[in-house]
Amino acid sequence: MEQEKVILVGVETEETWKNFGESMQELKGLTKTAKGEVCFSLVQKRPQVDRQTIIGKGKLTELKNLVESYEADLVIFNHELTPRQSQTIADFIVVPVIDRVQLILDIFALRARSKEGKLQVELAQLEYLLPRLVGQGKYLSRLGGGIGTRGPGETKLETDRRHIRNKITAIKRELKEVAAHRERTRQRRKNNRFQIGLIGYTNAGKSTIMNVLTEAKTYEQDELFATLDPLTKRWKLPEGFEVTLTDTVGFIQDLPTQLIDAFHSTLEESRDMDLLLHVVDASSPDRSQQEQTVLDLIKDLDFDKTPILTVYNKADKIDTAHFVPTLFPNVLISAKSSRSKEELTTAVRLQLMENLEPYTVYLAQNEGKLLAQLKSETLLVHEEFLPASENYLVKGFSLPETAIIRRMEDELDR
């Protein structure tokens, strides 16, 4: 498919000047991910955005001329547009206009694979586009669709509002059923198993780390939102302890509220985690801002009580001698390096020992099956045969509710 020519528009205000450069760079990355070609970025400094057209009449005329000069197919604003603003601008420049939120929703539509993911995208897009239907018909009938029109599809958006509201109600009902099924699956999967969640800014390398640790063969690419649907795999530590590892959708600066709601289920996967691995791109010039974005969202989602290990990734792209971490505890790795698995495993192991409960048990010589179970269900750190008693002394760490430890404690009490 031929790439659409896109012009980006951003206004630097007194409120946004600090992160404006990064935000525009991110918008460029998002456009590339949506298969668009950025031919020009129009930026303006103002105390605040224009209430009618974001950029004011003079700049709007300049934008119209740029659209004609570059023969642009689409204009993307780095601001959430009201329905009226969107229509006013589109009528004047005579090409489709979308905003950052619609662009991100479009990428989500492009990437969703699971039934739930697709339903969540469709719901978010329909709810977002419902008040924006007026005047969109002539643009939605563009040949072959294009950026901002994927997902629910053109025909659905051109039907009347009542039909779309009915569709929204039906999707919400279906999502409830899917969510209930997923919750049952999650409860079965937990089965007292230690759960680790991968979180972090989009494109920090979560999927690459998932693949290094579990050989999961998940989609990994230098793109924003390469992963949308949560994926859970088993990871067996060298001692034999089996944990689950879940990859989640990447966070982003100014994550639209529609996406937090729409992908609540994706982030829900992280709610029951026993440990979070916060993956950070150590080479990013905007590292501190990206860290703060994730930390703020972790707080908003009530995950801040879960232990967090910060994994500084992409060490191969920086001078490690001068690297200064800002979050603790942490580990610095390059997921592309052969040593990364060992380094990360060691750091995770330390976190497990800090966050699990220590235990000491004695096993008879003939209780090999029990020993194998302890190796699989707990982090076994010491195993010693005592000739005097002909017993095995076993020490390790486990979740307080681990079935085998509870059973052994009950037997001792009796």
3-state secondary structure 89-118: HHHHHCCCEEEHHHHHHHHHHHHCCCHHHH
pLDDT of residue 246: 87
pLDDT, mean over the chain? 84
44: nearest Cα among 32, 33, 60, 31: 60
Residue 263 has which token pair?
């992908």
Q: Kindly compute the dihedral angle of the four CA atoms of residues 17, 79, 29, 288, in this order, to the nearest 10 degrees.
A: 40
Contact 253, 289 (CB under 8 A): yes
Q: Is the pLDDT of residue 134 over 60?
A: no
Lowest mean pLDDT among 14-23, 135-144, 152-161: 135-144
Question: Residues comprising the binding site for Mg(2+)?
Answer: 207, 227
Q: Which residues contact 262 (CB under 8 A, 6 or more apart)?
A: 108, 120, 121, 123, 124
Lowest mean pLDDT among 9-18, 54-63, 104-113, 329-338: 104-113
Q: Is the pLDDT of residue 254 over 90?
A: no
pLDDT of residue 31: 94
Residues 193-233: pLDDT tens digits? 899 999 998 889 998 999 899 876 665 555 556 555 667 88
Q: Assign 140 a pLDDT band (cuts: 50, 70, 90).
A: very low
User: Which position has the higher pLDDT, 111 or 397?
Assistant: 397
Q: Is the pLDDT of residue 145 over 90?
A: no
Question: Residues comprising the binding site?
Answer: 200-207, 225-229, 247-250, 313-316, 334-336
Question: Residues comprising the binding site for GTP?
Answer: 200-207, 225-229, 247-250, 313-316, 334-336
- Tokens 């009542």 sit on residue: 162
Q: Which amino acid is at 148?
A: G
Contact 247, 210 (CB under 8 A): yes
Three-state SS sequence of 308-328: EEEEEECHHHCCHHHCCCCCC
pLDDT of residue 141: 43
pLDDT of residue 241: 95
Residues 302-356: pLDDT tens digits? 788 899 999 999 999 999 999 999 999 999 999 989 999 999 999 999 999 999 9
Q: Assign 107 a pLDDT band (cuts: 50, 70, 90).
A: confident
- Tokens 């034999």 sit on residue: 240
Q: Is the pLDDT of residue 128 over 90?
A: no
